[in-house]
Amino acid sequence: MSEPQSATPEEPGDLDALIRRIDPDRWLSSRFIGQPELRADVVALYAFDNELARAPRVASNSLLGEVRLTWWREALDEIFEGRPVRQHPAALALAQALGRRGLPRDLLETLVDARYRELDATPMAEAEALDWARDTGGVVAQLAAGILDPATEAKMALAGGSAWALGKRLADAPDLRPTFLKVIHAARSASRSLSVAAFPAVAHAALAGRPASNDFARRLRLTIAVARGRI
């Protein structure tokens, strides 16, 4: 199966530059991770998630979208089975991160499975949107929290990541705002259970559903959230 074309930064392989460009909220929150190796592993996770998110967007039909998602499931097979990993920057970076952190395969496969719903153009009902947000942004936040602090209660990051994912959909699905408000309220409570080290895994939820007028305002809002340990 041929390699999906990836959105690459100006310098190939520089995932940090890529995430800064295409995923600025989570890139900003990753700046509050002090250890470079931990930061790189979280960025690798974000790069993997962004590749999965691209599959439904760039495919001209649902079958091609399924092919792209299958390609990434096969990449996970290679990583977990110890086989040579396909030469894709995100796949290689994820393999390195998994080698250091031992992340659970079932959660990574959940990220793949969740993107199949986006191949269906039918608007999501509230229950579907909640499941989708949990299994995309929520699971990524849980995995990131586990990377940053294996001793923290990583599931407390689910709500924060879910709120961020729902917030990204509000422009195209404004009817989800009441659902988003419920989830962000739960996220503010749950995030208090995360350790200081793990909090950057959900800090970007402070930007969800609240468009800032400029980049300085976004950075200030995020800095305040991290300083207070509250979304």
Q: Which of 20, 26, 22, 24 is closest to 7 using CA atoms? A: 22
Q: How far is CA 201 from CA 28, 49, 82, 160, 194, in A?
A: 11, 14, 28, 8, 9
Please state, in angstroms and rounded to a whole number, the distance separating the CA atoms of residues 87 and 125: 38
Spatial contact of 120 and 62, defined as CB atoms under 8 Å apart:
yes
Q: For residue range 103-125, list pLDDT tens digits in order.
A: 999 999 999 999 999 999 899 99
Longest dimension (CA), the chain: 47
Give the other-Cβ count within 10 Å of 170's Cβ: 16
Second CATH level (architecture) for the domain 15-112+121-228: Orthogonal Bundle (1.10)
Confidence of residue 60 (pLDDT cuts 50, 70, 90): confident
Instruction: Measure the N-to-C terminal CA separation of the chain; round to a whole number of Å.
Output: 42
Residue range 15-49, pLDDT digits in tens: 999 999 999 999 999 999 999 999 999 999 999 99
Task: Pick the more confident residue, 97 or 213.
Answer: 97
Global pTM reads 0.93
Question: What percent of the chain shows pLDDT beyond 90?
Answer: 87
